[in-house]
Structure 1
Amino acid sequence: MTSGTRTITAGIDGSRASLDAADWAAREAGRRGLPLRLLHAESAPAMPARIPDVDVPVGRTRSALDRAAIQLSYAHPALDIIARSTETPAVPALLAAAAETQTLVLGSRGSTGCAGFPVGSVALGVAARAQRPVVLVRAGELPEDERMPTGDGTPPNTAPYLPVVLGLDLDHPADDLIRYAFDTAAVRSAPLHVVHTWTLPPHHGHAPGSPVPEGTAEREDGKRQVLTGTVQPWRRKFPETPVSERVFHGHPGHHLLKASTGAGLLVTGRRTGERLGRSARWLVHHAGCPVAVVPHA
């Protein structure tokens, strides 16, 4: 990874979702000791600015980018924040930014967006083509949502982090995907739950609700052994990260959605050069926690 990618970048469009996503990005940058970059695509000259030294000329209304940068600088005073606007339309601008950052963070809800695009289509379009991980954060995400509930007077910002969930395809157990999930769990000192789902090939003719075909238990045991073997080298690389492995028979979206309940982050993969899969799109729309889409070979 080059030094140019040692940042976390958030796309800003003024929507509630993008502002909540930027705050999530700021927390992630703080956890990793990285600068935060804010990018706003708009029809105005590019105006780089380092925050908190934001100067707004007399008579000029603060832009969504200005407001976001100032809010974040107050909330995260130790964070190095760089804000930039560009005239490039949203999707190409964000794709270019993704190529130069460690992780790109976008809001996954909202009714308005950069360059006339709905926020959802921008987020999904970028996640489907970006060269590096894209985290999609729903509107309303709060700092305490990624931590264990507290009921004993413990400050929410000191509570342990909720688990990270990784959805893993054993046919394509990409190192980039597994590394991202383990590293993300490690920087949080959070447990990692690795989930593999599988279904029988179509020619078996197994309809939902019908009796499970013979041999299914043996197949599942075999997949569990493969999953354990795949994860074992990463356990040795991250010995302090608690890891659990789960194998389910059924639709990936359904089981990953259930597994992500009570999680702080759901990690799913996308093969480079391919579209965002149906399950990944379903998870982005319905998961109750942020979703990281990680491209891999």
Structure 2
Amino acid sequence: MTRPIIVGLDGSPESRAAADWAAREARRREVPVRLVYAWTVPPQPTSGPRADGADEAGDEPARGLLEETRVDLTSHHPGVTVSTERASQEPVPALVARSEGAEMVVLGSRGHGAALGFLLGSVGLRVLAQAKAPVVLVRRPSDDATGAPDPEEVVVGVQDTAESAGPVLEFAFATAAARRAPLRAVRAWSLPPVFAYSPQSLRLLDEAGGLEPYERGALAEAVRPWREKFPDVAVTEHVEIGSAAEVLLGSAARAGLLVVGRGTHRPPLVPYVGHVAHAALHHARCPVAVVPHG
């Protein structure tokens, strides 16, 4: 069964930008788009007159928004199948439930800096922390956009072991393959404190020829199986000393998509995505995909 791209729609310009991004990605991957509007009727008073038709009255704007967006997407992206769903749930459980079996979930986000609105508000952060599928955050195009084609290079951060980084690299390689775009795999390293050295770590570093060659080897080992699975994707392996967040953001300055991982070992109710993903969501100028991994 073909997995759809889920879009959380709320009527904001950012969510419309997310829907447009999702339709372009769906066309590349040859998958459908499902627009989801989650909304619940406010509790009615237990005493006094009840507003008859409250459900229907509140539902009309949602249905109109869904249909208007569907028509707009199918007009601008011929060949993409777009369906709509009005979910009578709160946004977080609705989107998390639909992430199961989805290709990805796409949300809109507002701006840069400390006040990020939907991005790191209660909805966006909890969906990021709980979704079973990758979550992509898309910003509204800037008013000073030149109209030039979007950059297509996919940048992926690889700080974990080859095994745990697998889902992140698989998503990044599949995206690059669908776009016929190059991929840049980035790994940052820093000098560990003296007390972190052990006889075994010193032996491994000595065999590798030093810290930087060791890190290069770790990155090459993580990327190797995905190079073999996606032989048509041109890959650049980038290793640089510095903090993971700074190195990754510097490498993604001209990227079309930045892919980062989110560990799933924390309790599901704790809305935590990791400091590298957090920095990427705050400061990256391109869409950011947050991929859950073990």
Give your verdict on TM over 0.5: yes
Does the Cα contact within 8 Å between 1:170 and 1:196 map onto a contact in 2? no
Counterparts of 1:202 and 1:289, CA distance in 2: 34
- Is 1:14 matched up with 2:25? no
How many angstroms apart in 2 are the aligned matches of 1:141 and 1:123?
Answer: 21
Q: Give SS of 1:70's match.
A: helix
Q: Which residue of 2 aligns with 1:249?
A: 241
| 2:201 counterpart residue number | none
Separation of aligned partners in 1, 2:64 and 2:169: 39
Q: What secondary structure sits across from 1:38 in the alignment? A: strand
Deviation, structure 1 residue 202: 5.0
**What is the alpha-carbon distance in structure 2 between the residues aligned to residue 99 and residue 184 of structure 1?**
19
1:230 match? 222
Separation of aligned partners in 2, 1:170 and 1:223? 11
Query: Given that residues 36 and 82 in structure 1 are in contact (C-alpha distance below 8 angstroms), is that contact kept between their aligned partners in structure 2?
Result: yes
Select which of 265, 279, 283 maps to 2:280: 283
Cα distance, 1:63 vs. partner?
A: 3.2
Out of 168, 175, 183, the position equivalent to 2:158 is 168
RMSD: 2.9
In the alignment, the residues of structure 1 paired with residue 25 and residue 136 of structure 2 have an alpha-carbon distance, to the nearest angstrom, of 11
User: Which of residues 188, 210, 226 in structure 2 aligns to 1:218?
Assistant: 210
- Which of structures 1 and 2 has the bigger CA Rg? 2
TM-score of the pair, normalised by structure 1 = 0.77
Q: Which amino acid aligns with 1:25?
A: A
Q: Deviations over 1:97-128 (max 9, x none)?
A: 11131111001217xxxxxx951222222111
- Asked if the contact 2:165/2:222 (under 8 Å) is kept, the reply is no
Identity, in percent, stands at 42
Q: Are 1:13 and 1:65, in contact at CA under 8 Å, matched by a contact in 2? A: no
CA displacement, residues 192-234 of structure 1 (integer Å, 9 cap, x when unaligned): 10001123345669xxxxxxxxx9x920111102211221222
Task: Quote the residue 1:119 is aligned against.
Answer: 118
How far off is 1:251 after superposition? 1.1
Paired with 2:117 and 2:282, the residues of 1 have a C-alpha distance of 14
CA distance 1:249–1:74, change in 2 (3 Å): same
Shift of 1:68: 1.7
- 2: CA distance between counterparts of 1:141 and 1:292? 19
Q: 1:93 to 1:141 in 2, by over 3 A?
A: farther
- Paired amino acid for 1:266: L
Distance of 1:238 and 1:36 partners within structure 2:
25
Q: Does 1:67 align with 2:93?
A: no
- What is the identity, as a one-letter code, of the residue corresponding to 1:163? E
Instruction: State the 1:38 CA deviation.
Output: 0.2
Matched, 1:239 2:240: no
Q: Give the Å deviation of 1:67.
A: 2.4
Q: Alpha-carbon deviation of 1:81?
A: 0.8
Q: Which letter maps to 1:42?
A: W
Are the structure 2 counterparts of residues 287 and 204 from structure 1 closer, same or farther at C-alpha, using a change threshold of 3 Å? farther
The separation in 2 between residues aligned to 1:32 and 1:97, in whole angstroms, is 19
Aligned residues between the structures: 255
| Per-residue CA distance 1:167-191 (angstroms, 9 max, x = gap) | 0014364221111111110111100
Alignment of 1:21-170 (within 5 A): 21-43=18-40, 63-109=64-110, 118-120=117-119, 121=121, 122-140=123-141, 149=148, 156=149, 162-170=152-160
Q: Which secondary structure state, in structure 2, belongs to the residue aligned with residue 30 of structure 1?
A: helix
**In structure 2, do the counterparts of structure 1 residues 185 and 171 end up closer, same or farther at CA, with 3 Å as the change threshold?**
same
* Runs of at least 5 residues in structure 1 that lack an aligned partner in the other structure: 45-56, 111-116, 150-155, 206-214
| Unpaired segments ≥5 residues, structure 2 | 42-56, 197-205, 267-271
Deviation of the 1:136 alpha carbon: 0.6
* SS of 1:132 mapped into structure 2: coil
Aligned position for 2:178 = 187
Secondary structure of the structure 2 residue equivalent to 1:64: helix
Question: Aligned to 1:268, what secondary structure does the other structure show?
Answer: strand
Rounded Cα–Cα distance in structure 1 between residues aligned with 2:174 and 2:72: 28
CA shift digits 1:75-98 (9 cap, x unpaired):
123211110111211111111111
- Secondary structure at the aligned position of 1:246 is classed as strand
Q: Post-superposition shift, 1:276?
A: 0.3
